[in-house]
A and B are shown apart, each in its own frame.
Chain A
Amino acid sequence: MLGAFLALRQYDLKALLAYSTVSQLGLIVGVIGVGTPASDAAAILYTVAHALFKATLFMLVGIIDHEAGSRDIRELSGLHRAMPATALFTALAAATMAGLPPTIGFVGKEAIFEALAEAHHLRLSGQLAAGLGVLAAVLTFAYAARLVHGVFTGPLRQQGLRSPRRSFVAPAAVAAILTTALGPSVTLLSPIVQRAANDARPQGEPPYLAFWHGFTVALGLSALTVLLGTLLFVFRARTDRLLRRLPTTTPFAVRFEAGRVRLLHLGALLARPARAAGPATFLLRPLLAVPLLAVVAAVGLGPLPPPVGEATRPGDAVLLVLLMVTLAGLVTVRSALGAVGLTGTVGLLLSVWFVTAGAPDVALTLLLVEVLTTIVVMLVLRRRSPRLPPRGSRRALLAGAVLAGATGLAAAAGTAALTGRRDLSAPGRYLLAEAGPTTGGSNVVNTILVEFRALDTLGESVVLAVVAVGLVSLADRVTRTGRDLPAAAADPVLVFAHRLLAPVMLVVSGFLFVRGHEEIGGGFIGALLAGTAVGLGHLAYAGTSTPLLGRLRTRPLLVAGLLLCVGVGLAALPSGRPFLTLGKAGLPGGAALPFSTSLLFDLGVYLIVLGLIVAAVRRLDVSTRPAATGERR
């Protein structure tokens, strides 16, 4: 329908034909949509008809364009005088398009009307469909008439036009004659169409097509079409004006382009938050989700099981108060060193609390980690501003505080609601009972680390090793940019402390490592202590050659540690045991060793941790000169 309207408005012949194709394809699809055997046959027949007359018309318009130099209806007139053959065939093809008898267009249109009238998906849908079909056909009739009338009638205005060569017109002529001839002899086509309709819809019997069906509804509709179409054509001046007055639809392409540009803008808008610089913008939404989840949970959760046992001890409150005071200081402090110191204090308080909570290994590890972190931060902060950057605006600060409070509340509620409400877990009970007998170690936590869940430990060792090589890589990148900072002088007090403490720390480190299986200690703790000695030495000698531990190199430590960890794990495979089967029987052939292979595994961990600390201490020190780092990768 839209196509037909637009076609009627066109002056350009090719555009007219193009829009008319849109309209007619719409008609065909509409007929197929009726979904009866008759409609299938009608659609096929009309497709054939359409192919014939539309191709003819396009060819003829091409000829006109070629000869007269224009396709504009307003410029062309009286061409039948100059090229009578062309005019005749154009008229024939246009008559087919308009659906006039005796052309095949007439038969096709009849079949379509009949099929459309049969549509009965809804009440009145048949009438509605047929009505629309007729309307489209009326419009088609009108623009077909317009085409013929506009181009060929009237005085011949253009001079020097001759009839085109015969061979030029011949193909169009054949098709045009066919369109007319096939109308009365449609019975020839009928079997083919029936076959095709059958293929498309095996069930159902397509009707026999004929030129003359007698006085049917469809014939009436055809007559109506011709009548209305003629009227529309006769009053073409008025219809033209009416059509002009319709809102000028911007050509679709322009509108599409505008939509596309708008879409691009919307996309750019959506992409913009992804350009923010600092991490805070990105952390916001995951953090917001935490209190949201807590609220949903609070609404949705029913009554909780009661807490088992008394989880609070008298000393807890003291630590809690100290913790709160420290944290309050931390969030308000402006000095960078102060902030680092207060964070260290938090770690210290927590390790004390972990001791009272029955987790001495965790406490000792945390303590050593805090000390080392503090040392490294000090190294990084040398030559940096001693002050933290000013806070943001008051509003941003307030919003941050609100979110912080909400998240904290959610975390506290989650901890209170979801922990401490069941008895000792099944794996916990198993480990307490069986860890000693099966592994020979009495420190259950350590046996978990190096035996039961050695894969986790292997994973975290790999993490540390990768961090170590990453630090080396980062530091190289900075030093490669060619800055050369003066080295600080050795500090006599620290040198003295180092001379005194380092050997002791190393001995204790070895001791802690070896006894880890039975008492507090193990690879991590031992290596962290040795690492502290390294850090102290580095501070004391300001990055110049440090005695004793100065020869340690990151890469060999890491490689040896990794190979040891993975190798010990893989050693079990040849003898048909699972990966990381550790213990006395872990070696192929059950070779007798004076110690368990889990000790070897732990040694690998020790080496990796030490390697990381050596890398961190040396590479993160801003004042270290490239030459003083000694090793190259």
Chain B
Amino acid sequence: MSRLLILPFAGPLLTAALLFAAPRRHTAHRVAGLAVTAAVLALAVALLVLTRDGTVLAERIGGWHPLVAIGFAADAFSALMVTVCALVVLACLATTAAPGDDHDPLFVPLVLVLSAGAYGAFLTADLFNLFVLVEVMLVPSYVLVALGGGTRLGAARVYVAMNLLASTILLAGVGLVYGVTGSVRLGDLAAAARTSPTVGVAAGVVLLALAVKSAVVPWHDWLPRTYPEAPPVVLALFSGLLTKVGLYALIRVYAVVYDGDPAYHWVIGTAAMLSMVVGVLGALGEATMRRVLTFHMVSQIGYVLLGLALFTAASLAAAVFYLVQYILVKTALFLCAAAVHTGHRTDRLDRLGGLATLHPMLALAFAGAALSLAGLPPFSGFVAKFLLIRAVGDAGQWVAVTVAVGVSLLTLASMLKIWGAAFWGEPSGSDGAVPARVVLPALTLTIVSLLLGPVAQPLLGLADTAAAGLLDPDAYLRAVNGR
């Protein structure tokens, strides 16, 4: 089975190469894209089943000596991330929203390359390879963000510049880690930063780069500047994958290299709370659906980081659960925004109204996901927030509890703002048609995320396993080191 760990990376890549060769065959593009992503999803589910008891699968690419081979490894956390991301990619490919985006002959192959990079980044156990795979993921995103041209080019320029800077810092950090330790393999770096302060500084550069990539406050402002300019479906994809890879890597590196060193908890905690507050306030101040939702990403990233900052079994499990449900919910919301954009050519709140009567199914998908995002029972968002707040409360961090509760209230307020302006009231402006096939993927994601509320147990079990693996990375290290 571990031999197949490479397939989530290689499979979509091979398919993308074939699709580049046949640029005009739209149907073939859609079918092949969906098929290969569904296959990745099936493989990821199989990985989940295998790793749910704490087993770690590992593979040395090329079969070289452990000292020099690039290692791939799947534990419950990475398997979970691959699964969720495959689900997101599937939903985005299935949404044939705004004409002009997915009709571009590059759309499907680029999405496949991007997803290949993301899956690879979840599975690799080598810092330099992480840098390369993140680039494999980012470069297609550079192209996707500029599809359609026009005003998007300005945003694309900011986006590329920002990510390029972060990537350069990441590479410098990896170089420094090699300079100090003589290795870039996570297997050699276990708790290295805890025992050696110089490794702590070098890996700190890596963490800085990953924080910029994850749009953690104070390095968040590029996200709301650039994301809303991307084509609507592309935006949904980005929200599900890109910053989440940064977040995943941040969590993994902190868990392995720093061994969750408590000396840094307050730094991460402060950044987490700042992200939560700044993100939600920014969202309140925005005037288009996609901008509001983009600012929310910053806020949600803060929640996940809060779980990381405490570094207890409960808080890590809550963070993992939160990450998974939030990726699903957020993608569903962005797909709703994309559907609105398809029908009405705008997502400005002051130009929309009465969508609930025009598109009841769309309204249902949006309302479910929005309430889940705000953390209302019995939705999955409630379970996630409840777990997190309980974990934070157990640790006695009452300030953080207050912030978390307050921010979820404000989240609800901003969701109500969208609901009130766009879905409620009299239909205004054009009454564009939103085909069912555009709404269906969003609705499906919403339903999946809603089911995770009442039926949270399976995911809770996986999140617990993932948290245990992060808290005590022994099994991960043993597998990666080939022992």
Contacts and interface: CB of A to CB of B under 8 A. Distances in A.
> Are A and B close enough to touch in the complex, i.e. CB under 8 Å?
yes
Interface of A: 260, 263-271, 273-279, 281-283, 285-287, 289-290, 293, 297, 300-302, 304, 411, 414-415, 417-422, 424-428, 430-431, 434, 438, 448, 451-456, 459-460, 462-463, 465-467, 469-470, 473-474, 477-478, 555-556, 558-559, 562-563, 566-567, 569-570, 573, 576-582, 633
A424 B202 CA distance: 18
A455 B63 contact: no
Given A285-B219, A417-B198, A570 B10 contact: yes
Interface in B281-329: 281-286, 291, 295
Interface string B133-158: 10110011011001101000010011
A420 B176 CA distance: 10
A469 B143 contact: yes
Nearest to B70: A455
Contact of A460 (B132, B205, B283): B132
B176 to A, nearest CB: 5
Contacts of B154: 277
Contacts of A266: 281, 284-285
Residue from the set B3, B158, B295 with the largest chain A CB neighbour count within 10 Å: B158
Contact of B62 (A267, A451, A467): A451
B162 A279 contact: yes
Contact of A578 (B3, B166, B282): B3
A570 B18 CA distance: 15
B423 interface: no
Interface string B201-215: 110110010001000
B447 interface: no
A454 B62 CA distance: 8
Contacts of A417: 198, 201
5 nearest A-B residue pairs (beta carbon): A267-B285, A425-B182, A268-B285, A419-B179, A279-B161
Nearest to A448: B68
B436 interface: no
Nearest to A430: B67
Interface string B66-77: 011110000000
Given A283-B161, A454-B62, A563 B282 contact: no
Given A267-B281, A301-B201, A469-B20, A420 B62 contact: no
A271 B224 contact: yes
Given A271-B295, A466-B113, A282 B225 contact: yes
Residue from the set A414, A418, A428, A562 with the largest chain B CB neighbour count within 10 Å: A418
Contact of A459 (B63, B136, B146, B172): B136
B129 interface: yes
A470 B143 contact: yes
Nearest to A289: B208
B248 interface: no
Q: Is the interface of A mostly helix, strand, loop or mixed?
A: helix
A549 B154 CA distance: 35
A286 B136 contact: no
Given A276-B225, A455-B61, A473 B143 contact: yes
A454 B69 CA distance: 9
Q: Is the interface of B mostly helix, strand, loop or mixed?
A: helix
Residue from the set A274, A277, A418, A478 with the largest chain B CB neighbour count within 10 Å: A274
A283 B162 contact: yes
A312 B212 CA distance: 34
Contacts of A473: 104, 106, 143, 146-147
Contacts of B291: 271
8 contacts: A297-B201, A415-B176, A427-B183, A459-B120, A470-B146, A576-B3, A579-B6, A579-B61
A277 B136 CA distance: 27
B60 interface: yes
B169 A286 contact: yes
B393 interface: no
A559 B15 CA distance: 11
A577 B143 contact: no
A599 to B, nearest CB: 15
Contact of A427 (B132, B182, B278, B281): B182
Contacts of B136: 459, 462-463, 466
Nearest to A298: B201
B424 interface: no
B99 interface: no
B101 interface: no
A562 B69 CA distance: 22
Residue from the set B20, B116, B140 with the largest chain A CB neighbour count within 10 Å: B20
A422 B128 CA distance: 20
A462 B13 contact: yes
Contacts of A283: 161-162, 165
B218 interface: yes
B143 A578 contact: no
Given A289-B208, A293-B201, A271 B285 contact: yes
Contacts of B282: 267, 270-271, 274
Given A267-B286, A466-B143, A455 B221 contact: no
Contact of B13 (A297, A418, A470, A562): A562
B59 interface: yes
B389 interface: no
A148 B117 CA distance: 77
Nearest to A423: B182
B197 interface: yes
Given A277-B154, A558-B20, A285 B62 contact: no
A418 B180 contact: yes
B153 to A, nearest CB: 8
A460 B204 contact: no
Contact of A297 (B17, B204, B286): B204
Contacts of A270: 278, 281-282, 285
A580 B62 contact: yes
B427 interface: no
A466 B140 contact: yes
Nearest to A474: B146
A260 B285 CA distance: 10
Given A267-B284, A271-B282, A302-B197, A578 B20 contact: no
B14 A567 contact: yes
Nearest to B224: A274
Nearest to B168: A286
A335 to B, nearest CB: 23
A285 B223 CA distance: 14
B180 A422 contact: yes
Nearest to A481: B149
B483 interface: no
Contact of A418 (B146, B179, B183, B286): B179
A422 B177 CA distance: 12
Given A456-B132, A573-B6, 6 more contacts: A263-B281, A293-B205, A421-B180, A469-B20, A473-B146, A559-B21
B201 A269 contact: no
Contact of B17 (A274, A430, A562): A562
A431 B218 CA distance: 42
B197 A578 contact: no
Contacts of B234: none
Nearest to A460: B132
Contacts of B110: 466, 469
Given A264-B285, A434-B65, A304 B198 contact: yes
Contacts of B283: 267
B143 A456 contact: no
A580 B198 contact: no
B23 interface: yes
A219 B225 CA distance: 69
Interface in B1-49: 3-4, 6, 10, 13-14, 16-18, 20-21, 23
A78 B21 CA distance: 93
B178 interface: yes
A274 B116 CA distance: 30
B468 interface: no
Contact of A570 (B14, B140, B198, B222): B14
A552 B298 CA distance: 46
